[in-house]
Amino acid sequence: MDEQRQAVFFRELAATLKAGVGLGQAVRLSSLSAKGKRREQWQRIALKLDRGASLHSSLRSMTKEFSPWAIAVVGMAEKSGALAIACEDLAETLLEMSARRRLIRGMVLRLFRMLWSWAMVIFLLLGGVVTGIQFWFVATFVALGLVGFIYAAIHWQPLGDRLRSLPPFKNLYALQTLIHLGYLQLPLDCGVSLGTALTWLKRDFPDPGLKQILQRVEPQVRRGKPLSELIHPHVSLMVAQMIRTGEEAGTLPQSFKQIRQYHQRDLRRSIQLLNLQVLFISLMSFGFFVFLVGAQILNLLVNTAPTA
């Protein structure tokens, strides 16, 4: 299931659990929209839950349906008795992820169109003819090449790491790392220790930058040192101060939630600004393209017109 469907499931599960419904019956009610074999699978899981099985162990057989990090949070919540609270947090987090994924997907699509249009403008400037077969061959080749490049950037880590250092994306990746840091709210709301929460974040989130930071600070946090002091060289003063305030007031989960929401808004603004820049450059390429195509068609009409 995608993030949005997972969010609906956890939101309905939280509501039924808060109403005092048993876990097995809550899962049945939350999976009413499932059909066919999936519904039968949910019925079997609900039966296991009625017999005393844990939700965490049941969801582990559905790793294709649920994110591994979400299943891990469910396990921590069941041990601490905070399952309803954790389900609410998971629903909110998954909805944020879904919205962010749509933003990033739209940005990638706009970048794709911009690069393709400029490639075709360059082709025409180098003497290409829009009415020839070469134009369509080059257009298809460039489109397939860009699709392959985007796929490699997502699935091949060395290329992804290179892109993280480029100016247009460096700030976006830095904001995303801080958003991931804010996900520490989820295990902390379950009542686990900060060291256990850091281990969960390091293990389950594929963020190379964050993983490097956590590898340095996690052992020292387990020895009793405050996270705000250890993480200060890696984050802004504001983030370190928010963590310190949470440590002193005993409201660390709320501090991480505020960190996540603040940088989520910042990331949205940054993507919107980048989209405007890409739109402006795309309009320039479209103008050049229309001008070159119009010039070629006008030249063709002049050359083929009968002479008096």
Helical spans, DSSP H, in the chain: 3-18, 23-30, 36-50, 55-59, 68-80, 83-125, 133-155, 157-164, 167-182, 185-189, 194-204, 208-222, 227-231, 237-249, 252-304
- Cα separation, 88 vs 77, in Å, equals 11
Mean pLDDT of all residues belonging to the chain: 86
Q: Dmax of the chain from CA atoms?
A: 95
Top pLDDT among 44 and 1 is at 44
Picking from 11, 54, 8, the residue whose alpha carbon sits closest to that of residue 33 is 8
Q: Percent of the chain, pLDDT > 70?
A: 98
User: Which of 61-70, 89-98, 129-138 is predicted most confidently?
Assistant: 89-98
What pLDDT is attached to residue 298? 82
pLDDT in tens, 12-61: 889 998 888 888 888 888 877 777 777 788 888 888 888 888 888 888 87
- Measure CA of the first residue to CA of the last residue in the chain; give whole Å: 70
CB 253 within 8 A of CB 189: yes
Between the CA of residue 283 and those of 278, 279, 289, 292, 307, what are the distances in Å?
Answer: 9, 6, 10, 14, 38
Alpha carbons within 13 A on the beta-carbon side of 215: 7
What pLDDT is attached to residue 257? 92
What pLDDT is attached to residue 308? 52
* pLDDT confidence band for 307 (50 / 70 / 90): low
Q: Is the pLDDT of residue 156 over 90?
A: no
Top pLDDT among 149 and 39 is at 149
- Cα separation, 277 vs 169, in Å, equals 13
Q: Is the pLDDT of residue 126 over 70?
A: yes
Question: Which pTM does this prediction carry?
Answer: 0.80
What pLDDT is attached to residue 262? 93
Q: Is the pLDDT of residue 239 over 90?
A: yes
Across residues 190-212, what is the average pLDDT? Answer: 85
What pLDDT is attached to residue 31? 79
